[in-house]
Amino acid sequence: MSASAPAARGSAPPPTMSTWERLKSNPNWLGFWFMLPAMAILILFLAYPLGKGIWMSLTDIKIGRAGKFVGLENYEELILYDKTFINATIFTLVYTFVASAVKFALGLYLALLLNNNMPFKSFIRSIVLIPFIVPTVLSAIAFWWIFDTQFSIISWALKNLGLISQNINFLGDPLLAQATVIFCNIWRGIPFIAITLLAGLQTVSPSLYEAATLDGASRWQIFKNITYPLLTPIIAVVMTFSVLFTFTDFQLIWAMTRGGPVNATHLMATYSYQKGILGGQLGEGAAIATAMVPFLLAAIMVSWFGLQQRKWQQGAKE
Amino acid sequence: MTSPVSPVASPTVQQPGQHKVTAHDVLTLEDHSDGMSYLETTRARMVTLWLPLGLIVFVLLFPFYWMALTAIKPDNQLLDFNTYNPLWTWDPTFKHIYKLLFESNYPRWLWNTMYVAFAATTLSLLASVFAAYAIVRLRFKGSQTVGALIFLAYLVPPSILFIPLSTVIVAYGLFDSPLALILTYPTILIPFCTWLLMGYFKTIPFELEECALIDGATRWQILWKIILPLAVPGLISASIFALTLCWNEFIYALTFISSVPNKTVPVAVVNEFVDGDIFRWGSLMAGALVGSLPLVVLYSFFVEYYVSAMTGAVKE
């Protein structure tokens, strides 16, 4: 924005115009005024904190105490001596990868199912989105209850079916707890992916399917050679968002396990909250948050360019 | 290819071999989805369509059934799965919901949530309308760059911002006030709303604006009298979606608000309901249920706008 101001001053206005007139009619100045509210909020509460976070990660600031510059000490501390940080990082990567892959597969499958012609179609499509509408924390609490150690309805159902003899300790056992929170993330993410991909599916012209069927293509061939290639642009965008939000997830974990048992389900975001806000070590907390940035950039690059590239290849083939 | 008349004019990207689809189509497409389904027998459809679909929908909705059921179960049936069938109750009680609404801070939290959500949405929408109009139609120097920057802001997640932002909030003297949330939520909402509205504004013919300019209208008048009335569906989509995002927001509300009466519903349910009581599940589920219902009701009235907001923001 600031670039437009000197540019506007540089262009000589007609001499008859007053300064006020010029401010009102010059597109660059008008643009500046129109952008002002949005830019002010984004600079004050987004860009500035983003920069400040990186600076804080290089200091030993604590709650109630100004910090002094310590260089990379926070990062050293985390990487060399903090096992929980390493485990949280590994779990965040596993969480993101597994949840995104399953969400994509099931979301695409659900989108293909919903794309069929069937009775109550719009009703079914509407209710599928409900998990996305309900606040994550509130559904996470319902899951907390569903996966309760003593009174889990799932344990009860499996016991009644004769499949298990003891309650499953869903959120008490580290590995099971990790699987459980991944399941809940998948549950919450599928509707968004399914509905956006469904919108993408409906842009595919049915005449292509008719032509392929006449040529004797199988269902799988139709999907592989028509549906999927035409969907790739939208898949790229949807998955970029999905990976981004899964990687930085906080609320689901905080509502269900708060990082426990024995720190097994800490994501980088929850660990950074625990260290920075609850533990008061703002500097270290900021370092954990900043450590997420390279992973995020890498994830965005992979899902964005990886999928975009296929689009180019197909473009080149045509 | 004619699509059904839709009240929601959704922005879409058109490519060769594809046709325009609106949010209405996404929900109620009648004519051109899977035009060859008649080739399948009823039994095959049972296995390939209804069975997997039923299973997925069951898994997606069961938590809400369980939430609602727990909220209205009497205490003695809450944990006793052997004497009573846990999947149904014949003695529903509104005790938990009553306690929630009349003997706790819950109405206050609900009010806080709504107040913050409405204020943040209004603020974001105003800022976004101006920004989107400027980027799409004023074509000032650097408008492309600003558009790209706003998209990048979309990709900055709150979980990497909350620690530095908390020090900023304290420095501005906003800590523990609803204003902290009203001013920080727009950082999530403005990028989204601007991006969505840019798509809508692009679909409004330029000629309309040129006519008005020739007639001597100012940009301000054009925006209020021509662009905005035509972009009403877009404004509805953006605002209800923004409202939902605010309602759902957790990490900022958890970090910036400390006193109990100032909390929002998601934070309060997580922090204030968790005592040692073994029967707490009834009131917890009631809290979750009552906190979700307003959004579900809103959603049921504006399904198409939601879908249009979701797909519109992704497609650009």
CA distance readout (Å), A189 to A91, A129, A185, A269, B60: 18, 10, 6, 18, 10
**A4 Cα to chain B: minimum distance (Å):** 6
- Tell me the C-alpha distance between B67 and B59, whole Å: 13
Q: Is the dihedral of CA B308, B309, B313, B316 positive or negative?
A: positive
With a CB cutoff of 8 Å and minimum separation 6, the contacts of A234 are: A196, A197, A199, A200, B314, B315
Taking alpha carbons only, the member of B311, B250, B241, B292 closest to residue A192 is B311
Q: Considering the entire predicted model, what is its pTM?
A: 0.87
Using CB atoms, which residue from B17, B161, B194 is nearest to A50?
B161
Lowest mean pLDDT among A38-47, A229-238, B11-20: B11-20
Which residues sit opposite A204 in a β-bridge? B18
Query: In this structure, which CATH number among 3.30.60.50, 1.10.3720.10, 3.40.47.10, 1.10.287.610 belongs to the domain A78-317?
Result: 1.10.3720.10
Mutation for testing the B interface, residue in A45, A192, A231 having most B CBs under 10 Å: A45
The tens digit of pLDDT for each residue in A63-117 reads 888 888 998 989 998 999 999 999 999 999 999 999 999 999 999 999 999 988 8
A167-196: average pLDDT: 93
Mutation for testing the B interface, residue in A20, A30, A34 having most B CBs under 10 Å: A34
pLDDT tens per residue across all 316 residues of chain B: 333 333 343 444 444 445 556 666 666 554 444 455 566 677 777 888 889 999 999 999 999 999 999 999 888 888 888 788 888 888 888 888 898 899 888 999 999 999 999 999 999 999 999 999 999 988 788 888 888 898 888 889 999 999 999 999 999 999 999 999 999 999 999 999 999 999 889 888 888 888 998 998 888 888 889 899 999 999 999 999 999 999 999 999 999 999 999 999 999 988 887 666 666 788 889 999 999 999 999 999 998 888 888 877 665 4
Cβ contacts from A onto B, under 8 A: 336
A180-202: average pLDDT: 93
Check B164 against A285: CB less than 8 A apart.
no
With a CB cutoff of 8 Å and minimum separation 6, the contacts of B188 are: B158, B245, B249
Q: Where are chain A's structural domains?
A: 4-56, 78-317
Full set of structural domains in chain B with CATH = 102-315 (1.10.3720.10)
Burial of B184 (C-beta count, 10 Å sphere; 0-12/13-18/19+): buried
- Tell me the C-alpha distance between B171 and A282, whole Å: 15
- Tell me the C-alpha distance between B52 and B58, whole Å: 10
Check B140 against A134: CB less than 8 A apart.
no
| Contact residues, chain A, for B315 at CB < 8 Å | 199, 234, 237
With a CB cutoff of 8 Å and minimum separation 6, the contacts of A109 are: B52
Mutation for testing the B interface, residue in A141, A159, A296 having most B CBs under 10 Å: A141
Taking alpha carbons only, the member of B47, B2, B268 closest to residue A113 is B47
Check A138 against B291: CB less than 8 A apart.
yes
Q: In chain B, what are the helix, strand and coil shares in percent, each to the nearest 5?
A: 70, 0, 30
**A310 Cα to chain B: minimum distance (Å):** 16
**Are A38 and B128 a contacting pair, CB within 8 Å?**
yes
> The complex's ipTM?
0.86
